[in-house]
């Protein structure tokens, strides 16, 4: 017999779920069809973002330079302290041997009790007090023991200082690693952005920068007589040395002779003139007399940029600066107005 049972109807909940899913699918398809494809940033937008990343990288680079300089100073100080401690220990051993010899000689002549040797090896202060109270020490021994006490105190202080500097060195090395990682991260981001440009766009940016650099060089070298003041002997010699490095690549942490970062170039240039200035741009900002008016700048003066002093160059005359700009660039001339001028520094 044929069954006349009515087919089972879908539940209200199932119908609702299916309807909602279908509606969502239709809406998604419509949105996908109508959505505009993500636009590729323009050449100028990429340049602006890359310049910002380079500036951030340079800030980190100068912090890296500061940590590196501190590390080198600490390593020298620790080495000196450790050498002093080693020599001091030898002196202390010699003094103790001398005291032992005197004590032995006294014992052989029926003098001081040999048990006082315990005090010599453990606590000279206590030994001196007790033995003096018993009137068992000669003036020669008192003087020798005082020398032992002084040497022990000196050694203890030097060991403490060395331990503190070793801890400081460990912290500095940690900071150095962080700053290096930060610099590399910023440069990596910049490179990714540059890789989005076509070969033609990259060539256009390079040509644009080359034109600007040539214009700055002409402006500096073709300066009208009297417009810019010549630098002092040291400043002039430093500037001449830096001119010889035009075209050298920027490399963070580098201070010549084949590659430079901003403060690496200025410190190297002044070193060629026989003048030692600090390694970082922040420290160079305090290395001489500040010149706040651009009209008073002389060729070879340091020029400090940005509020945190993270960039420095050499004044080239006629409103131009000779500097190592950033990663991906070379030592070149540039208009001071392209950056935020803070002040000059005359060494």
Give the residue numbers annotated as catalytic, written as ranges.
Answer: 262, 311, 323
Contact (CB, 8 A) for 281 and 93: no
Residue spans of beta strands (DSSP E) within 18-98: none
C-alpha to C-alpha distance for 325 and 54, rounded to whole angstroms = 9
For residues 162 and 76, the answer to whether their CB atoms sit within 8 Å is no
DSSP-assigned beta bridge partners for residue 343: 304
The C-alpha atoms of residue 265 and residue 8 are separated, in whole angstroms, by 86
Q: What are phi and psi of 141, to 5 degrees?
A: -70, -40
- As a whole number of angstroms, the distance between CA 148 and CA 295 comes to 65
For 293-319, b where at least 16 C-beta lie within 10 A, e where not — what string? eeeebbbbbbbbbbeebbbbbbbbbbb
Contact 73, 165 (CB under 8 A): no
Q: Which residues contact 337 (CB under 8 A, 6 or more apart)?
A: 319
Q: What are phi and psi of 343, to 5 degrees?
A: -175, 170
Q: Are 282 and 62 in contact (CB under 8 A)?
A: yes
Contact present, 277 and 287 (Cβ < 8 Å) = yes
d(CA 324, CA 121) in angstroms, rounded, equals: 61
């Amino acid at each position: 017999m044929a069954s006349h049972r009515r087919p089972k109807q879908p539940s209200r909940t199932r119908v609702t779920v299916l309807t909602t899913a279908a509606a969502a699918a239709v809406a998604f398809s419509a949105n996908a069809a109508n959505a505009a494809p993500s636009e590729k940033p323009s050449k100028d937008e990429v340049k602006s973002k890359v310049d910002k990343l380079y500036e951030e990288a340079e800030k980190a680079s100068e912090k890296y330079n500061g940590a590196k300089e501190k590390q080198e100073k600490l390593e020298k100080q620790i080495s000196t302290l450790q050498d002093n401690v080693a020599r001091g220990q030898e002196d202390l051993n010699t003094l103790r041997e001398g005291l032992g010899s005197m004590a032995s000689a006294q014992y052989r002549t029926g003098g001081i009790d040999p048990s006082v040797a315990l005090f010599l090896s453990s606590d000279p202060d206590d030994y001196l007090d007790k033995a003096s109270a018993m009137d068992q020490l000669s003036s020669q021994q008192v003087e020798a023991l005082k020398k032992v006490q002084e040497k022990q105190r000196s050694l203890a202080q030097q060991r403490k200082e060395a331990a503190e500097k070793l801890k400081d060195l460990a912290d500095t090395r940690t900071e150095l690693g962080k700053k290096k990682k930060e610099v590399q991260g910023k440069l990596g981001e910049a490179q990714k952005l540059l890789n989005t440009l076509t070969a033609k766009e990259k060539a256009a940016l390079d040509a644009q920068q080359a034109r600007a650099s040539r214009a700055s060089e002409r402006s500096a070298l073709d300066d009208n007589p009297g417009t810019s003041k010549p630098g002092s002997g040291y400043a002039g010699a430093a500037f001449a040395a830096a001119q010889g490095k035009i075209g050298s690549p920027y490399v963070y942490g580098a201070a010549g002779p084949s590659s430079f970062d901003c403060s690496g170039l200025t410190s190297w240039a002044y070193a060629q003139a026989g003048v030692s200035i600090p390694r970082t741009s922040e420290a160079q900002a305090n290395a001489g007399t500040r010149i706040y008016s651009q009209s008073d700048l002389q060729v070879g003066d340091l020029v400090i940029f940005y509020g945190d002093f993270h960039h420095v160059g050499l004044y080239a005359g006629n409103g131009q600066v000779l500097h190592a700009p950033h990663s991906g660039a070379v030592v070149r001339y540039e208009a001071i107005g392209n950056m935020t001028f803070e002040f000059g520094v005359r060494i």
